[in-house]
Amino acid sequence: MTELLVRNACVIDPIRGINGEIMDIAIRDGRIVESVSDRAEMIDARRCLTLPGGIDSHTHVCGTKVNFGRYMSPEDMRAGRTRRRGRMHVTSGYYVPTTFGNSYRYSAMGYTTLLEGAMAPLEARHTHEEFTATPHQDMLANTLFDGNWAVMDAVREKNIQKTAAIVGWTLNAVKGYAIKLTNPGGTEAWGWGEDLTSIHEPVRHFEVTPAEIISTMIRANELLRLPHSVHLHCNNLGKPGNYQTTLATFDLVPDLNPDRQTLYATHVQFHAYGGGTWRNICSKAEEITRSINNKPQIVMDMGQIMFCRTMTMTADGPMEFNLHCLHHNKWSNHDVELETGSGIIPVTYSKKSAVNCIMWAIGLELALLTKSPWQCLLETDNPNGAPFVKYPEVIGLLMSKRYRDEECATLHADTEKRTSLHALEREMDWFDIAVMTRAGQAKALGIINQGKGHLGIGAEADIAIYPIRTDSLDPAREYRKVVEGFQKTRYTIKRGRVVSRDGEIIVDGANATFWTNARIPEDLRVDNDPEFIRRFQEFYTVRMSNYPVQEVYLPRGRCVETESFT
Report angle CA 181, 266, 285 to the nearest 5 degrees.
Answer: 130
Residue 394, CB half-sphere, CA atoms under 13 Å: how many?
33
Judged by beta carbon distances under 5 to 8 A according to partner kind, the member of another protein, Zn ion, none in contact with residue 74 is: another protein
Count CB-CB contacts under 10 A for residue 309.
18
Count of residues of this chain found to bind another protein when the rule CB under 8 A is applied: 8
- Amino acid identity at 57: S
Nearer to another protein, 347 or 455 (CB): 347
Please pick, from the candidates 44, 75, 508, 561, the single residue that binds another protein as defined by CB under 8 A: 75
Q: Report the candidate in 311, 310, 186 with the shortest Cα–Cα distance to residue 242.
A: 186
Choices 61-69, 73-81, 86-94, 215-223 (CB under 8 A): range interacting with another protein: 73-81
Please pick, from the candidates 117, 383, 385, 387, the single residue that binds Zn ion as defined by CB under 5 A: 117
Q: Is 74 in the site for another protein (CB under 8 A)?
A: yes
Residue 346's H or E segment, with its range, is strand 340-348
- Amino acid identity at 365: E
Judged by beta carbon distances under 5 to 8 A according to partner kind, the member of Zn ion, another protein, none in contact with residue 76 is: another protein
**CA–CA dist 542, 559 (Å, integer):** 25
Q: Is 381 in the site for Zn ion (CB under 5 A)?
A: yes
The DSSP 8-state label assigned to residue 297 in this structure reads: T
Q: For the CB of residue 74, give the shortest distance to another protein in the complex, in Å.
A: 4
**Angle, helix 354-369 to helix 391-399, in steps of 10 degrees:** 60
Judged by beta carbon distances under 5 to 8 A according to partner kind, the member of another protein, Zn ion, none in contact with residue 377 is: none
Judged by beta carbon distances under 5 to 8 A according to partner kind, the member of another protein, Zn ion, none in contact with residue 78 is: another protein
Tell me if 5 sits within 8 A of 429, measured CB to CB: no
At 463 the three-state DSSP class reads: strand
Choices 29-37, 94-102, 111-119, 192-200 (CB under 5 A): range interacting with Zn ion: 111-119
Q: For the CB of residue 17, give the shortest distance to Zn ion in the complex, in Å.
A: 31
Nearer to Zn ion, 176 or 451 (CB): 176
Is residue 24 classed exposed, middle or buried when 0-12, 13-18 and 19+ CB atoms within 10 A define those classes? middle
Nearer to Zn ion, 312 or 562 (CB): 312
Choices 70-78, 164-172, 279-287, 369-377 (CB under 8 A): range interacting with another protein: 70-78
Q: Is 328 in the site for another protein (CB under 8 A)?
A: yes
Nearer to another protein, 75 or 207 (CB): 75
The DSSP 8-state label assigned to residue 38 in this structure reads: T
Tell me if 180 sits within 8 A of 214, measured CB to CB: no
Q: For the CB of residue 66, give the shortest distance to another protein in the complex, in Å.
A: 16
**CA–CA dist 428, 395 (Å, integer):** 9
Q: For the CB of residue 318, give the shortest distance to Zn ion in the complex, in Å.
A: 15
Site string for Zn ion, 64-103 (x = CB under 5 A): ----------------------------------------
Tell me if 518 sits within 8 A of 172, measured CB to CB: yes
Q: Cis ω on the peptide bond leading into residue 383 (within 30° of 0)?
A: yes
Q: Is 73 in the site for another protein (CB under 8 A)?
A: yes
**CA–CA dist 504, 492 (Å, integer):** 10
Choices 67-75, 138-146, 420-428, 440-448 (CB under 8 A): range interacting with another protein: 67-75
**CA–CA dist 245, 238 (Å, integer):** 11
Q: For the CB of residue 310, give the shortest distance to another protein in the complex, in Å.
A: 14
Choices 7-15, 26-34, 72-80, 138-146 (CB under 8 A): range interacting with another protein: 72-80
- Between the alpha carbon of residue 417 and those of residues 349, 367, 420, the distances in Å are 19, 19, 8
Q: For the CB of residue 412, give the shortest distance to another protein in the complex, in Å.
A: 23
Judged by beta carbon distances under 5 to 8 A according to partner kind, the member of Zn ion, another protein, none in contact with residue 381 is: Zn ion
Q: Is 78 in the site for another protein (CB under 8 A)?
A: yes
Q: Is 76 in the site for another protein (CB under 8 A)?
A: yes
The DSSP 8-state label assigned to residue 143 in this structure reads: E
Q: For the CB of residue 72, give the shortest distance to another protein in the complex, in Å.
A: 8
Q: For the CB of residue 346, give the shortest distance to another protein in the complex, in Å.
A: 9
Judged by beta carbon distances under 5 to 8 A according to partner kind, the member of another protein, Zn ion, none in contact with residue 75 is: another protein
Beta-bridge partners for 273: 283
Beta-bridge partners for 424: none
**CA–CA dist 214, 124 (Å, integer):** 23
Q: Report the candidate in 359, 325, 318 with the shortest Cα–Cα distance to residue 340.
A: 318
The DSSP 8-state label assigned to residue 521 in this structure reads: -
Residue with smallest beta-carbon separation from Zn ion:
117
Dihedral (CA of 484, 488, 490, 496) sign: positive
Nearer to another protein, 69 or 185 (CB): 69
Judged by beta carbon distances under 5 to 8 A according to partner kind, the member of another protein, Zn ion, none in contact with residue 117 is: Zn ion
Judged by beta carbon distances under 5 to 8 A according to partner kind, the member of Zn ion, another protein, none in contact with residue 352 is: none
Nearer to Zn ion, 117 or 496 (CB): 117
Tell me if 103 sits within 8 A of 492, measured CB to CB: no
Judged by beta carbon distances under 5 to 8 A according to partner kind, the member of another protein, Zn ion, none in contact with residue 458 is: none
At 182 the three-state DSSP class reads: strand
Judged by beta carbon distances under 5 to 8 A according to partner kind, the member of Zn ion, another protein, none in contact with residue 73 is: another protein
Q: For the CB of residue 73, give the shortest distance to another protein in the complex, in Å.
A: 6
**CA–CA dist 527, 305 (Å, integer):** 43
Q: For the CB of residue 565, give the shortest distance to Zn ion in the complex, in Å.
A: 30
**CA–CA dist 564, 220 (Å, integer):** 10
Tell me if 237 sits within 8 A of 270, measured CB to CB: yes
Tell me if 373 sits within 8 A of 428, measured CB to CB: yes
Choices 66-74, 103-111, 174-182, 424-432 (CB under 8 A): range interacting with another protein: 66-74
Choices 35-43, 81-89, 376-384, 386-394 (CB under 5 A): range interacting with Zn ion: 376-384
Binding residues vs another protein (CB under 8 A): 72-78, 328
Binding residues vs Zn ion (CB under 5 A): 117, 381
